Amino acid sequence: MTILAALLLVAAPVAATECATPASLAEPWTSWTQSGQARAGAQAHGAPTLILGKPVVATLTPAAHVQFATPPGNGAKEGHGGLFTLSLKQAARVGIALDGPAWVDVVTGTTTVASTEHGHGPACSGVRKIVWFDLPAGRHLVQIAGSKPATVRVMAADAKANQPVG
C-alpha cells in the first residue's frame, strides 16, 4: 500500500499551491492568457478561423457528431471535438497549443499533415501540450478530438513570430 501511495504522489499533477504564480511565457505564446470565445465547427464548411497568436476558449461538440475531414488520431469517437480553419500567407512552422488532453491534427486538402514535434508548455503556464507542424501557405483545417471536457483553450502560433531577425 505504501508503494501505491508513493506512485500516486509521483504521478500526481502539480499541486495548485505550487502554481500560485503563473509562469511567464516567451514568444510566440505571450498572449496565451488572453482569450476570445468560439464554438468549434462540427463540419469544415463554416468552421471558425484560428488567427495566429490569438487564443480562444472553444466550445466543442460530442466527437461522434463532428464530420472530420480525415479520421483523427487516438480517441476520435470519445469525448468532444471540433474544427477550425487556419490560413497562412506563407509557409511556416506552426504550433497548436491546448490547455487540456486532446488529439490535434492539421489537414491540408485531403491529407493529414505529419507533426514535426510535440511538447509541453512550461509548468504552471496552462499550456498542456504544443504540437508543431510545417505548413505550406494556404488554408488548413485544425481538428481537435478526444477531449473529455466540452471546452478547450486553443492557440495557433508561428514559431518565428516576433523573433529577432538574424
The CATH number that applies at residue 142 is 2.60.120.380
In a domain, 8, yes or no: no
Kindly report, residue by residue over 79-138, the tens digit of the pLDDT: 999 999 999 999 999 999 999 999 999 999 989 999 999 988 878 888 899 999 999 999
Which range marks the domain in which residue 77 is found?
Answer: 40-158
Of the candidates 41, 43, 47, 71, the residue with the CA atom closest to the CA atom of residue 59? 41
pTM for the full model? 0.83
What pLDDT is recorded for position 166? 46
Kindly report, residue by residue over 87-102, the tens digit of the pLDDT: 999 999 999 999 999 9
In a domain, 166, yes or no: no
User: Distance (Å, rounded) from C-alpha 127 to C-alpha 125?
Assistant: 5
In a domain, 165, yes or no: no
In a domain, 73, yes or no: yes
Kindly report, residue by residue over 28-52, the tens digit of the pLDDT: 767 888 879 999 999 999 999 999 9
In a domain, 14, yes or no: no
In a domain, 53, yes or no: yes
How many folded domains does the chain comprise?
Answer: 1
Of 150 and 119, more confident? 150
Q: Is the dihedral of CA 11, 17, 18, 20 positive or negative?
A: positive
In a domain, 149, yes or no: yes
Q: CA 121 from chain center: how many Å?
A: 11
What pLDDT is recorded for position 39? 97
In a domain, 29, yes or no: no
